[in-house]
Amino acid sequence: MILKVPQGKRLTKQRSIILEELKKNRIHPTALEVHKLVKKRLPKISLATIYRNLKFLQSNGYIMSINCESCNSERFDGFTDHHQHFSCKVCQKVYDMNKSKSDEVKVNKKEGHQVDDYQIIFNGICKICLKKEKQYI
């Protein structure tokens, strides 16, 4: 994987592996879950190092963080294109939803603002948890 790195910044082996894990797993993991994934490849990596590198990757535009009502912790996404998320308040999983630029375009035209970034998170109960809930009713 070839990545553009800001001048004066290095994409270290640790950062590359964290990014690879986030792109490989569309599960929107917490920092603790990223730590567990990366530890399989880098057994000596600390949780503090994971936090530092997630912050670096986020501040340099490689990843995005997701903060939602249903989540207990900040989640991370290796895909920074504009897309929506759904957060389940039962299992606390975060799912990707279809991309849509229509909201951005409407705000640009109607309000006269320039939208550089946005995040849409739907909260509710996912279809898996709904199915489980119906089994017990």
Counting other chains too, the contacts that 77-81 makes at CB distance below 8 Å and 24 or more residues apart are 77/22, 77/28, 78/19, 78/21, 78/22, 78/23, 78/24, 78/25, 78/26, 79/23, 79/26
CATH assignment of the domain containing 69:
1.10.10.10
- Whether residue 90 is contained in a domain is answered as yes
Paired sense of beta strands 85-88 and 94-96, if any: antiparallel
Q: Enter the pTM of the model.
A: 0.79
Going by C-alpha positions, the residue among 66, 12, 70 that lies closest to residue 42 is 12
Place of tokens 């912050």: 55
Query: Would you say residue 48 lies in a domain?
Result: yes
Count up the domains in the chain and report the number.
Answer: 1
Q: What is the pLDDT along the chain (137 residues), one digit of tens a residue?
A: 455 556 667 889 999 999 999 999 889 999 999 999 999 999 999 999 999 999 999 999 999 999 887 777 899 999 988 889 999 999 989 999 876 655 555 666 667 777 777 788 899 999 999 998 887 65
Look at residue 7 and tell me if it is in a domain.
Answer: no
Question: Does residue 81 fall inside a structural domain?
Answer: yes
Residue 8 belongs to some domain of the structure: no
Domain that holds residue 87: 13-135
